[in-house]
Structure 1
Amino acid sequence: MGTFSIWHWLIVLLVVVLIFGTKKLKNMGSDLGAAVKGFKDGVKGGMDTADDAGGSPPQVTGTQKKADPNTVDVEAKTKS
């Protein structure tokens, strides 16, 4: 009684097909497949960008010239 036989599953499948129809079930299946594929691509793409961003931070050297003479370095200026 705890397990379903093949006849139970066939009756459930028949009821689902009668309610939704084969065309709608086909569309739902292809939509579900596209969603799963998009999710996998998103997860894979997220891992690729995380690996690239995990490198060392950019090095800032003191020899860089300022483009604008009005630019003030906030670490060098102190409040008086």
Structure 2
Amino acid sequence: MGRYREQLQDEAEDALEEGIDQAKQVAADVYRTASEEVGRQASSEGTLADRVSDVVRSTADKTDEAVRRKLSSSAAEREQ
């Protein structure tokens, strides 16, 4: 039983490390997307509040897409 426990613990640690790495990648993607969107919005018309709202909305959408892609690819890798 000790060996099985160690195996489960190792698998849990690996999954945690993978999750942390994926979270870091998503955070980097969010930062890049927000930076790009700010640059794009800088030249558009509208109030500052409108532009910030557009940046936040765009970043949230792209973050959602990135998280879903990461989760899908992780699930596919585990199935193999």
TM-score range, shorter chain: 0.3 to 0.5
Specify which structure has the bigger relative contact order, considering alpha-carbon pairs within 8 angstroms and separated by 6 or more residues: 2
Higher Cα Rg, which structure: 1
Under a length normalisation based on structure 2, what TM-score does the superposition of the two structures give? 0.46
Higher helix share: 2
Under a length normalisation based on structure 1, what TM-score does the superposition of the two structures give? 0.46
